Chain A
Amino acid sequence: MKVYKISREGLDKWIKHWTESYDVFGPVEKNENGMTDWAEVKGLDEISTAPGTTKQPIKTFYLPQPETLFTFTSRGGEPDSDVLKETLDEGRPRVLFGVRPCDARSVTLNGLAYEEDPYYMANVERTLLVGVSCREQCGTCFCRWVGGSPFGTEGLDILLIETEQNFVAEALTDRGVSLVEAGGGAREASGEDLAMVESMRQEAEQAMSAMPDTAETLRSKDLMSMYNADFWGGLSESCINCGACTFLCPTCYCFDIQDEVVRKKGRRIRYWDSCMFPLFTQHASGHNPRGQKVQRVRNRFMHKLKYFPDRFGPVSCVGCGRCIRECPVNIDIREVLRDLLGVE
């Protein structure tokens, strides 16, 4: 890891330099209630520094909505009609600037499930992440309960830490170092800078309540005792199966595949699907393994907090709090997590 110091003007120059070879995206204030969302940017002044996360998670860059898997021409009788052509998108590389540590972790966590998926991996390959640490948290943030940190670096190429006058930039990967070099104008950070960053890190972490070993504890519990716990019925009662939670969740990665043909031009696309919808599991015969709402609500939480950890190790939740913020009936994953940790 290499650590640099860069001024606000210097950062603006980085972005301007990067736009020569990358598409650069950042959180931009988009609507009147101050919510930010991802948009292409040309300079630092366009980027919002408001605390908290963007409305959309960054999975939109890794699992585009929709994503074309193959194209084909349809039923024309020509020799290549109906033959699928691969469309692995190796388009222009891009930099996401201002990614929160929780969102950055989601890329690594989803990567555990997508290891053999060439489309996802191509997007990982061409997307560089410049993160910004969180000095302030929102009421719905809980990254420290699920293995993250407001100064976390997992998944990032560069982590920026805003100090009194400047920024400290930790280049965490070779790609990060190249980005700093391409940006130019950075000085190596001094021992003093490093000490300051360290004390900021400690201060930020201490300001948040933490829950250590969450994944480990959940993994050690009995699957069926968690599944059969008595709180699922009450919890699911108010859910209206709108799916907002899963669409806004950075680590909800389920998809459907469908074919689409318009004027003989066809494509096989994949797009987000949600286990909150009854059709997700329904057979042609009408039989439905998760036909009841309680089964679907339980599946969402059990997947994140038990099935995924049992299979891959970590919890499939980064604590960004979007599902808490946006659920119309105030279902709160933090309560479910506490309940599950309490299951004997």
Chain B
Amino acid sequence: MAESKKEQINNPYMPFPARIEDIIVETEDGNLKTFRLMLERPEDRENWSHVPGQFAMLSLAGRGEIPIGIASSPTEKDGLLFTVNKAGVVTGALHSMEVGASVGVRGPLGNGFPVDSELKGKNIVIIAGGFAFTTLRATLLYMLANRRDYGRITVIYGARTPGMLLYRKELEEWQKRDDVEMHVTIDRETQGWTGLVGFVPTVAGQVAPSPENAVALICGPPVMIKFTMPPLEKIGWTDEQVYLSLENRMKCGIGICGHCNCGPVYVCKDGPVFTRAEVMKLPVEF
């Protein structure tokens, strides 16, 4: 291989050094925390640019690296947000860290939602369940910051209980706005909750957003996605209009290590965002 080519390759496995600036406990069970990270080097901050829906590898030296969706919008300038569910070794270690601790960030990785192409000029329906709301928060904020580029925006978001909803303060602010239609729901009646009650698919059926000139971005547990499709299809939605974000185990994040393949596609590099039409052509290995 030519020398020149070799020099062009910088090390895609090297994370950017970053510092935890802030930690927000999101949910009543304490299992979800949002970390605000600041890249240490000014040049890294300057060069960083991501699209909503992309993810990054968070690196804890001695523990390992994990893929986490970027929860902040590129229009927010105060660091990067990652909302992390405590699940195992690395997420557990992250949850025990404090403000000021150093971590690594490798990314941005993956494709993200086509906010500057296919989604422009469309009515947008965001459907999220549980803690999969993270990259959709980034997407929503991006769209609100570029409000005129999109038509009607509808958000359907559900969690088990009010205390399990992410970004509570922001949800309230968005509910006050008249340029976004919010449908926030919880699974069962709870004292003090005056909002919607019911599972996300049911609410999606009741709200029944029109498929005309519209796209839906759906993130959530596989069962939620499965049951959300029939009510949408009933009113005319097609698979080409629906965007999903897949979550497969991955190590390199750049399409080499082989873990995240779903048939011929690499979720890390070709995804994680796919239209449902694309996903339906693949083996069900996600």
Contacting pair A253 B258 (CB below 8 A): yes
Which of B257, B263, B286 lies in contact with A307, CB distance below 8 A? B263
Q: Which of the candidate stretches A44-52, A117-125, A317-325 sits at the interface with the other chain?
A: A117-125
Contacting pair B251 A84 (CB below 8 A): no
The secondary structure that dominates the A interface is: mixed
> Which B residues lie within 8 Å of A88 (CB)?
11
Contacting pair A223 B263 (CB below 8 A): yes
Contacting pair A306 B264 (CB below 8 A): yes
Contacting pair B257 A255 (CB below 8 A): yes
Interface residues of B in 6-20 (CB under 8 A from A): 6, 9-15, 17
> Which B residues lie within 8 Å of A142 (CB)?
none
Contacting pair B263 A254 (CB below 8 A): no
Which of B62, B91, B258 lies in contact with A254, CB distance below 8 A? B258
Contacting pair A125 B6 (CB below 8 A): yes
In the complex, the chain A residue whose C-beta lies closest to that of B57 is A257
User: How far apart sit A144 and B151, CA to CA, in the bound complex (Å)?
Assistant: 58
Contacting pair B13 A70 (CB below 8 A): yes
A86-B14, A116-B12, A290-B285 given; A72·B257 CB < 8 A: no
0/1 interface trace, chain B 237-281, chain A, CB 8 Å (1 if under):
000000000011101101111110111100000000000000001
A70-B13, A84-B14 given; A259·B64 CB < 8 A: yes
> Which A residues lie within 8 Å of B286 (CB)?
289
> Which B residues lie within 8 Å of A113 (CB)?
255-256
Q: Which of the candidate stretches A5-13, A92-100, A159-167, A277-285 sits at the interface with the other chain?
A: A277-285
Which of B11, B104, B247 lies in contact with A86, CB distance below 8 A? B11
Contacting pair B63 A259 (CB below 8 A): yes
The verdict on A231 contacting chain B, using a C-beta distance below 8 Å, is: no
The verdict on A56 contacting chain B, using a C-beta distance below 8 Å, is: no
Which of B62, B87, B259 lies in contact with A280, CB distance below 8 A? B259
Contacting pair A299 B261 (CB below 8 A): yes
In the complex, the chain B residue whose C-beta lies closest to that of A291 is B285
> Which A residues lie within 8 Å of B236 (CB)?
none
Interface residues of A in 261-294 (CB under 8 A from B): 261, 266, 268, 270, 273, 275, 280-285, 287, 289-290
> Which A residues lie within 8 Å of B13 (CB)?
69-70, 119, 257, 268
Interface residues of B in 81-132 (CB under 8 A from A): 87-88, 91, 102, 104
The verdict on A236 contacting chain B, using a C-beta distance below 8 Å, is: no
A-B residue pairs, 5 tightest by C-beta = A254-B258, A284-B87, A82-B61, A307-B264, A284-B88
Name 22 A/B residue pairs within 8 A (Cβ), A-sorted.
A70-B13, A74-B61, A84-B15, A84-B59, A113-B256, A117-B256, A118-B6, A121-B9, A125-B6, A227-B263, A253-B258, A254-B258, A255-B256, A256-B257, A256-B259, A257-B257, A266-B61, A270-B251, A273-B259, A281-B259, A284-B88, A306-B264
